Structures are given as C-alpha cells and as structure tokens.
Amino acid sequence: MSSRLKTFTALALLLSALLPGAASAETAFLDHRGKTITFAKPPERVVTIVRSAPIIYRAVDGKADRIVGMNKDSLVRYFTSGIYAEMLPAT
C-alpha cells in the first residue's frame, strides 16, 4: 500500500471521529480495502502510525490528551523539541 493511501486512511479515520455530532452518533467509513468500519461511539484513545498524524490530530482536537501511542520520531519532532513544540506547547 502506498504511503499516500496509508496517510489518507489514517486521516479519514481520525477526522471521522472528530466531526461535530459524532459524540452521540454512530460513525462509519469505508477503508482502503472496501471494508466498512463502524464505531458505536467516538474513539477515546488514539494510536498513530503515520509520522505526521499526531500533529494533525493535535491541530484538529486542540490537545494531544487522547494520543496514547505514536511513532518515536513524531514524539521528538512534534512534542519534545523543534518548531512544533514551540508553537504548540503542552498546556
């Protein structure tokens, strides 16, 4: 699977969980295999694999409290040091 497709799939999953009204509604989407994935309620914890996903999630959600796992490079690049850590300090 191409990295673009992986990124798109990860972002689609992430954004579908954050849509307005999703807190009380069932959420479903079609993944890259053509399989329908359904959540009865929004995910409470998120693990990201794609390197850029944590910073996108943080930008959309406003915080990173729900991220419980990520690529080690993402942790350093976006949350520990660098420009993103300065622009989006932990609150």
pLDDT per position as a tens digit, 23-62: 557 888 898 899 999 989 888 898 888 888 888 888 888 8
17: pLDDT strictly greater than 70: no
Buried b (16+ CB within 10 A) or exposed e, 31-54: eeeeeeeeeeebeeebebebbebb
Q: What is the band of 78 on the pLDDT scale with cuts at 50, 70, 90?
A: confident
CA-CA distance, 51 to 40, in Å (whole number)?
A: 27
Question: Would you state the pLDDT for residue 72?
Answer: 82
Cα→Cα distances 17→25, 50, 86, Å: 10, 17, 27
pTM, entire model: 0.53
